[in-house]
């Protein structure tokens, strides 16, 4: 397996059209698809003024996003990114021409957005593979499930403990 290299706006690497770009934000990863000539396609909140990435707290709760074609260097800003086609071993990528055609058709369209079920990673993997997948969302859903199960277990333990005290009297 090839070593993963980090890139930035000042050290852009050499992505190929159709590559998935994973951008590392302070608390999460934002995903885009490389179109070529320095441009990417990604989803951004519809209710923010200038084209931005899904980086604000407001965007987490947004239910709509706009598909935008932007310069990779503008979206990356001071962050780093990887060229990350990590699902290629599980899903066969569509032909590059098909990926680009599908992506270009969606530019400036408004799409639904859901952090766990239809996020930026789902969007770009749907373009590349024809199926939207997101490990980031799976991890979040798993964490929510664990917290919910733990809270339920603690509630049950508390109920059992209080009942055992009631029987002592």
Taking residues 127-146, what's their average pLDDT?
A: 68
Can you give the pLDDT at residue 51? 44
For the domain with range 19-48+60-140, which CATH number is right: 3.90.1720.10, 3.30.465.10, 3.20.20.60, 3.40.50.11890? 3.90.1720.10
Retrieve residue 62's tokens: 């947004």
Taking only the tens place, the pLDDT of each residue in 21-58 is 999 998 888 999 999 999 999 998 886 544 444 444 44
Query: 30, 82, 122, 161: which is the annotated catalytic residue?
Result: 30
The answer on pLDDT for 139 being more than 60 is no
For the cut 80, the answer to whether the pLDDT of residue 1 exceeds it is: no
pLDDT in tens, 75-113: 999 999 999 999 999 999 999 999 999 999 999 999 988
Q: Three-state SS across 113-165?
A: CECCCECHHHHHHHHHHCCCCCHHHHHHHHHHHHHHHHHHHHHHHHHHHHHHH
Catalytic, 11? Answer: no
């Amino acid at each position: 397996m090839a070593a993963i290299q980090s890139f930035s706006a000042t050290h852009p690497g050499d992505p190929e059209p159709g590559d998935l770009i994973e951008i590392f934000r302070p608390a999460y990863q934002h995903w885009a698809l490389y179109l070529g000539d320095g441009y990417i396609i990604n989803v951004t909140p519809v209710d923010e003024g200038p084209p931005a990435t899904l980086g604000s707290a407001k965007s987490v709760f947004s239910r709509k996003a706009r598909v935008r074609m932007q310069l990779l260097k503008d979206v990356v800003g001071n962050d780093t990114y990887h060229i990350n086609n990590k699902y290629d071993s599980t899903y066969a990528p569509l032909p590059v021409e098909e990926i680009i055609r599908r992506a270009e058709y969606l530019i400036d369209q408004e799409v639904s957005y859901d952090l766990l079920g239809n996020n930026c990673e789902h969007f770009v993997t749907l373009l590349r593979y024809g199926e939207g997948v997101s490990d980031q969302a799976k991890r979040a859903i798993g964490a929510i499930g664990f917290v919910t199960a733990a809270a339920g277990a603690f509630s049950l333990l508390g109920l059992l403990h209080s009942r055992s005290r009631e029987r002592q009297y």
